[in-house]
Amino acid sequence: MGRVSGKTVIVTGGARGLGAAFARALVAEGASVVIADVLAEEGKALAGELGGRADFAELDVTDHDAWERVVAEVTDRNGPVSGLVNNAGIVHVGSIESLDEADYRRVIDVNQIGVFLGMKAVLPSMRRAGGGSIVNISSIGGIIAFSGIVSYTASKWAVRGMTKTAAQEFGADGVRVNSVHPGVVATEMTADSDRSQGMVTDQPLARRGTAEELANLVLFLISDESSFCTGSEFVADGGYTSQ
């Protein structure tokens, strides 16, 4: 019996990178997974690879109506949603002085507003399921600050705070809400980054994490194994923030 058998889970930004790793791990342990992304071609290909318990849904996480549509379609097809991984995110590099307002707002819209809309959209379905688990992917940039990515840092700190508020508000419905804070993980985004390699050199575990390591943490939080965990930060950063 899989660790998340019988659960229906939406993974945003699920077409590639960490999101794809989360989808693979959840399907392997018995969940029905909806890969929600704007990358339709990659998302459909991944759903096809994962088989009958994976579907693709085109979703712009900044669009309230799109969220309502996707949750309604998933609920009609698979039953109430019992898990949500708010993983979709973007970054824009630039100093505060050089950053355009439009670029700043775009990052906030995806990384922060997208999480808000997702939590809001799935709550009624999770009530019908008798409870559920929401995992919001933040970052170590939501615990400490980095220069040159002010909008990303602001959004990830916001996700950390929103998670705690949601945990307090949703607990009576049996819905748990936790945030995950990855350090440098080997994905397409960091594969050729000199900055990311420099960051891990002096941390206690002096390497990049793997997408599979983060997927194991998300799997734990979606599963009933974490049934007493809510409103908490789960940091997976090789010890970077311990320094």
CA dihedral of 120, 121, 123, 127, whole degrees rounded to 10: 160
Q: In angstroms, what CA-CA distances link 114 with 51, 61, 200, 221?
A: 27, 5, 29, 20
Residue 100 neighbours by CB distance under 10 Å: 10
Q: Are 2 and 25 spatial neighbours (Cβ–Cβ below 8 Å)? A: no
Where is 236: in which H helix or E strand?
Answer: strand 233-236
Q: Is 152 a catalytic residue?
A: yes
Contact 175, 134 (CB under 8 A): yes
As a whole number of Å, the end-to-end CA separation of the chain is 40
Catalytic residue among 22, 56, 116, 152: 152
Could you list the active site residues? Answer: 152
